[in-house]
């Protein structure tokens, strides 16, 4: 399993993303800045109900969940894309 920080502006303090070996799926845990870690992520995108088989599928889900632009999500994930 991998875990990477998600450097997305407004979501970059606690949000993470990575690859889940057991589920064979990409995932992300999204917490807006100022949100508390003790409450857990506000949005949890994982293999249920649909696995994210590609990083592009995960990026689309992040865009839909945060309202961010594609270029912002690409920049937030750029250094780790392709690394499990």
- Residue 33: enclosing H or E segment and its boundaries? none
Q: Scanning the structure block, which residue is given the tokens 């990409």?
A: 26
pLDDT of residue 9: 96
| Partner residues linked to 30 by β-bridges | 43
C-alpha torsion sign, points 25, 46, 20, 67: positive
Q: Indicate yes or no: pTM above 0.95.
A: no
Q: Which residues contact 11 (CB under 8 A, 6 or more apart)?
A: 30, 31, 32, 33, 66, 68
Q: In terms of Cα–Cα distance, which of 3, 54, 44 is closest to 24?
A: 54
The residue ranges of every structural domain in the chain are 4-80
What is the rounded CA–CA span in Å between residue 12 and residue 6?
Answer: 6
DSSP type of residue 52: B
Tens digits of residue pLDDT in 48-57: 778 999 999 9
Query: For every one of its 84 residues, what pLDDT tens digit does the chain have, with 9 covering 90 and above?
Result: 899 999 999 999 999 999 999 999 999 999 999 987 777 788 999 987 789 999 999 999 999 999 999 999 999 998 888 777
């Amino acid at each position: 399993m991998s875990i990477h920080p998600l450097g997305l502006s407004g979501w970059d303090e606690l949000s993470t993303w990575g690859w889940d070996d057991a589920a064979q799926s990409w995932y992300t845990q999204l917490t807006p800045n100022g949100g508390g870690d003790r409450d857990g992520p506000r949005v949890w995108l994982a293999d249920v109900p649909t696995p994210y088989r590609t990083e592009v599928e995960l990026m689309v889900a992040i865009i839909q969940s945060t309202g961010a632009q594609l270029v912002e999500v690409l920049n937030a994930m750029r250094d780790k894309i392709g690394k499990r």
